[in-house]
Structure 1
Amino acid sequence: MTLGPGGREPDAVTALAADAYVYGSPLVRTLHFVQSCLQEGYGTTAPAPFNAFAHADGPATPGTPVPYAPADLVDALAQLDLSGGPVRLHVPDTGGAYYVLRFTDAWSNSFAYLGSRATGTGKGDWLIVPPGWSGTVPDELSGVIDAPTSVVSVVGHLACDGPGDMPRVRALQQEFTLTHLGDRAHRTGLPAPESGVPRELRFFEELRVWMADFPASAADRAHQDRFQPLGLLEEGVSPYVSAGPGLVRALGRGLALGRLRVEEAARRVVSMPAGPYGSWRTIGHLRDHNVDHLGVGTLAAPEWKIADREASYLVRAVAARRGHRLPHGYEAVYATTARDSGGRPLSGAHAYVLRLAPPPPVRAFWSLTVYDRPGGRLVPDTAGRFAVGSRTPGLAYGADGSLTLHLSVSPPGDPRAAANWLPVPPGAFRAVMRLHVPAQPVLDGSYVLPAFGRA
């Protein structure tokens, strides 16, 4: 029985389909994210067309539908289509306040950064150009960002110190602008897969269509040639419209196997605890899969690139699965824990202290936020304190520069402890420490976050 263009047996097709899922799921996930941003909006942002910013109304609140959303950053999203030519981006002077714009191609590679760490906080104009573009660059521009694919996602965050800071943030939001400079109209949507494809093969049809429209790097294309027997490289009429039951079953099993492989890797990918039982887990190297397109604001040192290209495909799939918020570790490191120093689950039934001696070394800011489990929502608090960190006014530091944070359902009676208080839910919770522009001791592991102790 012929199962595909290569006439392979079911087990061979299944194994190849699993590899194709690991390789191609970042493209499919990223473009689903783009579609969501265009049509329904994402998280705290409303829908917006190509080449326009969508800004959140404020930082996350307990009602925000996105799990583990930050409480001290305001999201800014833009989906760029460069098929009609370059787009000009204007960024305002933020007056020293932290912000970042991260540029991600259709394959989920973060290939450029603008903002506090990468380019400073002054105003500027940047030209974002499609692959192979060779036009003239105006002299007054701050620089050029070469996009690896004609569709690009811009994921941005602006620091916000609470509701009272939103007038400043809203004024900045109005100054982030995108102008299409191409001599042809840009697309209004993504290339559509054929409608007659069975639901079970939808992933492979999307991968087939989008691989053709958004070519990978030359080295990756050499790798994806091995998927020819699956029909993924065929042009024109979809080979999946008339797929036989044997091919449908083999591809379905491969899809399930590939998903399982990515899910298992996602559980392993966070770094193991560096200290005793109950220490924090950090995610700092999920974006190191990009080795081909390292532009403005990226670091090309070996420690930020995965040497084994085939191994990088699995990491890329995990990064795409875990979401679009995670940047390279040199932009931000996120640490999470759900246990105390004794290995017991964190719960609002107890009060906790976290002694930071010294506080985390960062070049921008750090903040600690707690979320309920398993929902990942912020804790409702009448005082409106959803995070505490280096930008929090009125914290009480020790004479040696240390900082002791207090976490409990109700505020402590001692005024100094109350100044350093972060409310927690009555039940189980998870703590997330965000270290923006971490200093070298964080990156090399010589600075270790202490565990929570029961008060």
Structure 2
Amino acid sequence: MTVWQTALEDVGVLGVDKGAGGKFVFVPPGYTGEIPTGYSILKSDTVTGYALLRSNMKSHSEKDVAAAILYGKRLKVYPLSEAKKPPQTVFTDAKDVVYDSTIRYDATLFYNLSRVIEREPWLERDRAMIDPLRTIGIERGKPFKPDDATRKALDGAAKEAGELLAARYDQGFPPFYPGSRWTYPTLQEAIEGQGSGYADREKYAVDARALLYSYGYIAIKRPGTAQFYMISIRDKDGNAFQGGTSYRLNVPAGAPVKQYWSVTAYDRQSHALIKNMERASVASNSAQVKRNEDGPDAGKGGKHLLLPPGYSDKVPDGYFVGRATSFDVIAGMRAIPDKGDVAGAIDRLKTIKVYPLDQRPDWQPPTWMDQTPIAQNQTPTAFEQTLRYWEALDEVIQKEPPLPGFGSEYGNLAALGIVKGKPFKPNERMAGILEKAAVMGSAQFRVESLADNRPDRVVWPDRQWQWASLRFENDAFETNGYRDNGAADKWFYQAIATSPAMFRRDPAAGSLYWLGLRDKDGEYLDGGRSYRLRVPLPVPGRLFWSVTVYDAETRSQIATDQNKAALRSLFELADVRGEIAELYFGPEVPKEKGAPWIKTIPGKGWFVYFRIYGPEPSAFDGSWKPADFEEAE
């Protein structure tokens, strides 16, 4: 780096040496001496310079920190004149040394400027400043001794400059993606200028450079290669960060980095690290970072151990451990077909291995069964309004341990004759009562699920779309002081299974679900009518999106002779182009030739789930939203 904070070169894996290391010689302005062979020459346009080198750690453990320090001490710095017999490089540990390099917006700024100008040659691009600086007493070869009046004026000028830069900083920078509070680290003209050393003689981004150096102190030769920076100065609502307020930042699993990512907090006024804090940053290679709830393996895979209720034996090392509250469990895995490659997705699923922790000698690995062509009915529709519902419930009660916190519910079941360890044999009168209760209970669930009038169901005030789940805090529908039974009823009448990250409403979520069951006029979707749904493109999803049609009675995917229930961006919609995707639903083929279409059944209601996998910010902040269903001719 030169004294004017311009990078001469980058080194490292993505630097000029491609990670192989090397010998570099820094030569000052006007140097004409001989350069020994074997050195890479870096020509500086200033006499003073410095170098910053980072030794990346595998983790923050004492062992890895020590290894990083040891690697750093392999560096050698010496004068070229002593290259034949380099002296030993002296290393000083400045870890606990307070070093204040912040800008002081007062007259001392000009004293420091005078010191640099006295020592350094003028750069050709900066010669226009020679005379203006002379008017305030800064001139090479002469001492800088401003009188009281001049010093006072310089104090005011520096303060005003600081205020102007602060005001411009508060305006923010270009967003990293639409609707985000994360921005690029500086203005584009500064990025271009620093990367080229301001080589373009038709441009000189003075203001952008000043703004950059008001909060930063280095330039990068190749920004966005070996490292990438983003800045955030406001929360999701656009309010400036406050030191007295607590904040949470969710970082999605599988960040696109090869080494690590980190988040560092700076003092807003000084732009320096916050003083007197235990630490100023957190990094992905630190054990103190709490993993996202969308997977303890952070998307990298691993060995997961599922333990049954009451397990008290030693848990072996090397596993991500989950403790079940029931003996029967199911596991749902989804492999996303990259660019529609279904065979590849199936092959990825088959890399999963399932086996007992303690394998018996006669144990055989499970076999993979392709159920794609097999009709499946995973709903209780056939028996949910009969006595069989209660018999199925009794079978679960007999087999599984009681769930903690549900004692009252078990007491209610005991009054009906469902008690663990006792046979369920209702007499004719009780059987009749239970059958009527099953019918009424199913109807109540149907109303809760499909005729809900809770205000928090609404996604956007000007749309009919609803949140598929009314609770987003966790997968257990737990909220402040109680379990939201209404939200649980709505979800489980429509769907099966939950996960910790399934309902989150932020870009860290792995998926997003919206429920559509009414047209733009608020009428239920009717299988005997034709509808059109307009979806703005592109849909804000990193992976894919889909619209799936469900039978309102069975809550299963609609079953027709078309043998299709979904329109998916990786398949049926892969070739859709333009600003709007027009999707059609109804009993008859739409007039628009080749239009994406799902067949519905006259006399039956239906609803859809609009899914986005890898949702982006605009899916949550209202800047993007699909239209409502409208009747089509």
Measure, in 2, the Cα distance between the counterparts of 1:252 and 1:350. Answer: 37
Greater Rg by CA: 2
Counterpart selection for 2:558 from 376, 392, 395: 376
Q: For the structure 1 residues 226 and 362, does the alpha-carbon distance in structure 2 shift closer, same or farther, using more than 3 Å as the test?
A: same
Q: Hey, what does 2:448 align to over in structure 1?
A: 265
Residue 415 of structure 2 corresponds to 229
* Cα distance change on mapping 1:174 and 1:280 into 2, 3 Å: same
Aligned AA (1:333): L
* SS, match of residue 254 in structure 1: helix
Q: Secondary structure at the match of 1:225?
A: helix
Structure 2 Cα separation of the partners of residues 441 and 177 of structure 1: 37
- Contact 1:347 1:427 survives alignment (8 Å): yes
Which of 603, 609, 613 is the aligned partner of 1:436?
Answer: 613
Matches of 1:381 and 1:208, distance apart in 2: 36
Q: Look up the match of 2:44.
A: none
Q: Distance in 2 between matches of 1:251 and 1:381?
A: 37
Write the mapping of 1:372-451 to structure 2, written as runs, cut at 5 A.
376-377=558-559, 380=562, 386-388=567-569, 393=574, 395-397=576-578, 403-407=579-583, 409=589, 422-425=596-599, 432-439=609-616, 442=619, 448-451=625-628
Is it true that 1:211 corresponds to 2:397 in the alignment?
Answer: yes
Q: Choose from 439, 444, 467 the match for 1:282.
A: 467
Query: Does the alignment pair 1:176 with 2:352?
Result: yes
Q: Deviations along 1:224-257, whole A, 9 cap, x unmatched?
A: 2344333322524x2x43x444433443443333
- Give, in angstroms, the shift of residue 336 of structure 1: 4.3
Match of 1:137 among 294, 307, 315: 315
SS of the aligned residue for 2:335 comes to: strand
Structure 2: gaps (5+ residues): 1-253, 257-290, 364-384, 505-509
Structure holding more strand per residue = 1
**Structure number with higher relative contact order (C-alpha < 8 Å, ≥ 6 residues apart):** 1
How many corresponding residue pairs?
303
CA distance 1:343–1:151, change in 2 (3 Å): closer
Whether the 8 Å contact between 2:543 and 2:613 is mirrored in structure 1 is: yes
Counterpart for residue 335 of structure 1 = 514
SS at match of 1:335: strand
Determine the C-alpha separation between the residues in 1 that align with 2:353 and 2:475.
Answer: 27
Is 2:329 the partner of 1:152? yes
Q: CA deviation at 1:379?
A: 8.7
Structure 1 residues 389 and 342: alpha-carbon distance in aligned structure 2, compared to 1, 3 A threshold: farther
Distance 1:427 1:251 in 2: 32
Q: What is the CA distance between 1:333 and its match in structure 2?
A: 3.0
Superposition deviation, residue 431 in structure 1: 5.4
Contact 2:516/2:609 (<8 A) preserved: yes
Counterpart-to-counterpart distance in 1, 2:522 and 2:460: 14
Task: Give me the CA root mean square deviation.
Answer: 5.0
> What is the letter of the counterpart of residue 232 of structure 1?
I
Distance 1:427 1:248 in 2: 34
Same amino acid, percent of matched pairs:
17
**Residue of 521, 541, 546 corresponding to 1:367:** 546
SS across alignment from 2:341:
helix
Distance 2:390 2:563 in 1: 46
**C-alpha distance in 2 between matches for 1:229 and 1:140:** 46
Distance 1:119 1:342, change over 3 A: same
For residues 94-105 of structure 1, the aligned pairs below 5 Å read: none
TM-score by length of structure 1 reads: 0.51
Change beyond 3 A, Cα 1:347–1:264: closer
- Aligned 1:74-85 pairs, distance under 5 A: none
Q: Give the secondary structure class of the aligned counterpart of 1:133.
A: coil
- Matched with 1:323 is 495
Pairing 1:92-131 to 2, within 5 Å after superposition: 119-131=297-309
Instruction: From the superposition, tell whether residues 446 and 149 of structure 1 become closer, same or farther in structure 2 (CA, over 3 Å).
Output: farther
Summarize the Cα distance change of 1:365–1:118 in structure 2 as closer, same or farther, 3 Å threshold.
farther
Check conservation: 1:161, 1:391, Cα contact below 8 A. no
Q: Secondary structure at the match of 2:545?
A: strand
Distance 1:244 1:371, change over 3 A: closer
Distance 1:123 1:337 in 2: 34
Contact 1:369 1:433 in 2 (8 A): yes
Query: Kindly tell me: are residues 117 and 325 of structure 1, through their superposed partners in 2, closer, same or farther at Cα, counting changes over 3 Å?
Result: same
TM-score by length of 2: 0.38
Paired AA for residue 433 in structure 1: F
